[in-house]
A and B are shown apart, each in its own frame.
Chain A
Amino acid sequence: MAQVMMKDLNKKYDEVHAVKDVNLHIRDKEFMVLVGPSGCGKSTTLRMVAGLEEITSGEISIGDRVVNDLPPKDRDIAMVFQNYALYPHMTVYDNMAFGLKMRKFPKVEIQKRVQDAAEILGIQELLKRKPRQLSGGQRQRVAVGRAIVRHPQVFLFDEPLSNLDAKLRVQMRVELKRLHERLETTAIYVTHDQVEAMTLGDRVVVMKDGWIQQVGEPLELYGRPANKFVAGFIGSPSMNFVDVKVADANGALWAETQGIRVKVPPIHTSRLVPYKGQQVTMGVRPEDLHPASGSDPREYCFDAVVDVVEPLGSEILLDLRVGNNTIVARVEPTNRVKVHESTRLALTPDRAHFFDLKTELAI
């Protein structure tokens, strides 16, 4: 039973305030992903949980114990590093047994645990090899194995898949998810890849500049981003942002800018009333734009000129120009629109987002 609590957690280096007032409750058995661009403080946060970085202020507890002053070894955690951190002078077996040996486990117990882990990961054949005789994917399995054998209360993953090629990354992602379901151990996973975050996390923490931006389940972050940063960070291709003026006409609110005049969807109307006459940022995801057809209400349509066509097979990405804005739309692969042609687009009304221009918070 191990939940992880972070209370008012801060990390300051000489000039950099890397982690700012982080409060986070990671539940027992939860797979929590910390995601954000480089330098956002996610790795530093993880390293403070591990005990590799000192805590400037605040409190971390694992299970029921405050671990601020506990040496890493006594925190009952196991960490998997981005570059695997396998010892080149040891065999796979010795690498996996390392932590147990350091803790003076009996030999029989070590052997059993290493065998079990090797079996789970399908690396029994590799136990006598040295790390340099392994492929990247195999090395990462060994690194995960070294963590598993310790039966820790919490797994810490620091960008474990970033060194793998794209195909292997997808494969290992699935394996990690399966592994977590099997072991049911609390896990904190750091990545800069929002796809990894969305697919692996029970919940996801988005960080930027040391601040937590939002904590939530993947679809919650996708559907109801708390601010413009989260909206742009989660989802690929990124959400389109257009600065619009909120105008009042014919008893309804309209979002207007050069080339676009769409009605504010009913679900947003009440919240946008105070912004009447002001500028706000409208956000629409590429997948929430589609070629307009007769059934689309006219007040949600606008015209755009195609700049670039990117056929991806399962879909086509259109880069379009509307007034001074460039936007991306994700359309069906059967779409036959050509470069420089004008096309009429419609947006899915209840999927539009609005953000305060100054605070960038969702309205």
Chain B
Amino acid sequence: MRVATTARRRDIQVAYLLLAPTLLLLLTALAYPVGWEVWTSLTDLSPLKDGPTAFVGLENYRRFLADPEFWRAATVTVVYAAVTSVAKLSLGVGFALLLARPFRGRALVFLAIFLPWAYPASVSVIGWYWTLNPPIPTAYSVFMGNVKYAVDGVLGGGAWAFLSVTLFNIWRGSSFIGVFLLAGINAVPPELFECAVLESKSAWRRFWLVTVPLLKPFLALAVFLSLTTAFADLANVWMLTAGRIVYPVVGTHAYWLAIRGGQFGPASALSLTLVPFLLAVLLILFRMFDPPEKERA
């Protein structure tokens, strides 16, 4: 009895030892920054301010909730995330289904679909920027210039810039989701799809009754990744518009406040405002795609 207990205790010690590197990494790279950010959001910390940092409680949050600028940025962020996610998912599923079966020239199509994601974001951004704003005057550049004026004329200044950011996100993201879902399809035994072919002629019904349920875990992860990257997007918006931001998202707004404005407290509060919302969305998502199952004996 005693021997068993000692052995078990040693097992537990070894387990903690093995977990230690991961725990250390999580604590230093995740828990500490998040904790620091939460703390900062409750203060008026700023490098521009003399004197000690004061604890201000929920003041930073209260200010945002009353600020129309914040609501605008939040709305734009949600729309941005929703629109890009729906588009990326639809295109990604399409790409994956297209690539799942062999056809002539498949390798080239695969390359074309995969490249936007495989390139570093900065390179993709420049490629995209020049596609929409050609650097050399040609008939095409004139055409794109007209498109820009037309869009801005209808939707207001900066609309074209924001639209191009959205399209860029979709272009690059659907590439990744396509390849990701292709891996998912390849992980499903082909007989499961063939069995459906034996029972129904309608590709549409087979898609909804068989493909979607079988790919659920992959779809859930794809939506998750898509939403989080869109919600936290700052780099793409910034790079594509060179900081001339007319439609701020929460990320760019927080960046302005912190890096340009030196207001660390409000900026931290701002970037944390979306967290509860995001958590709720994720919870619903996982409930939807991976319902807790009553196991039977």
CB within 8 Å of B: which residues of A? 50-52, 71-74, 77-79, 81-83, 85, 87-89, 98-99, 102-103, 128-130, 133
Q: Does B296 contact A (CB under 8 A)?
A: yes
Are B205 and A102 in contact, with the CB atoms below 8 A? Answer: yes
Are A102 and B209 in contact, with the CB atoms below 8 A? Answer: yes
Q: Decide: A81 near B199, CB < 8 A? Known: A89-B213, A133-B296.
A: no
Are A72 and B198 in contact, with the CB atoms below 8 A? Answer: yes
Are B198 and A73 in contact, with the CB atoms below 8 A? Answer: yes
Are B205 and A87 in contact, with the CB atoms below 8 A? Answer: no
Q: Which residue from chain A places its CB closest to the CB of B209 in the assembled complex?
A: A102
With a cutoff of 8 Å between Cβ atoms, the chain B residues found around residue A50 in the complex are 198
With a cutoff of 8 Å between Cβ atoms, the chain A residues found around residue B201 in the complex are 71, 73-74
- Sorting the interface of chain B by its residue count into under 10, 10 to 19, 20 to 34 or 35 or more gives 20 to 34
Q: Decide: A81 near B296, CB < 8 A? Known: A87-B213, A102-B205.
A: no
How far does the Cβ of B207 sit from chain A's closest Cβ, in whole Å?
13
Q: Decide: A99 near B199, CB < 8 A? Known: A85-B192, A87-B210.
A: yes
How far does the Cβ of B211 sit from chain A's closest Cβ, in whole Å?
11
Q: Please, what's the 1-or-0 string for B192-219, where 1 marks a CB less than 8 Å from any CB in chain A?
A: 1011111111000100011001101000
Q: Which residue from chain A places its CB closest to the CB of B189 in the assembled complex?
A: A83
User: Cα distance A64–B280 when bound, in Å?
Assistant: 60
Question: Which residues of B (214-246) have their CB < 8 Å from a CB of A?
Answer: 214, 216
Are B198 and A89 in contact, with the CB atoms below 8 A? Answer: no
User: Cα distance A129–B213 when bound, in Å?
Assistant: 17
Q: Please, what's the 1-or-0 string for B178-201, where 1 marks a CB less than 8 Å from any CB in chain A?
A: 000000000001011011111111
With a cutoff of 8 Å between Cβ atoms, the chain B residues found around residue A74 in the complex are 201
Pick the residue among A77, A83, A88 that contacts B198 (CB under 8 A): A77
**Most A CB within 10 A of own CB, among B192, B198, B205:** B198
User: Cα distance A77–B198 when bound, in Å?
Assistant: 8
CB within 8 Å of A: which residues of B? 189, 191-192, 194-201, 205, 209-210, 213-214, 216, 293, 295-296
Q: Decide: A85 near B194, CB < 8 A? Known: A128-B296, A129-B296, A133-B296.
A: yes
User: Cα distance A82–B194 when bound, in Å?
Assistant: 13
Q: Which residue from chain B places its CB closest to the CB of A77 in the assembled complex?
A: B198
How far does the Cβ of B250 sit from chain A's closest Cβ, in whole Å?
36
User: Cα distance A122–B262 when bound, in Å?
Assistant: 74
Are B197 and A72 in contact, with the CB atoms below 8 A? Answer: yes
Are B199 and A83 in contact, with the CB atoms below 8 A? Answer: no
User: Cα distance A207–B197 when bound, in Å?
Assistant: 27
**Most B CB within 10 A of own CB, among A52, A83, A133:** A52
Q: Decide: A85 near B214, CB < 8 A? Known: A50-B198, A73-B198, A102-B209.
A: no
User: Cα distance A102–B201 when bound, in Å?
Assistant: 9
Pick the residue among A73, A79, A87, A129 that contacts B200 (CB under 8 A): A73
The 7 closest A-B pairs by CB, nearest first: A85-B191, A102-B199, A102-B200, A81-B191, A99-B199, A89-B213, A85-B195
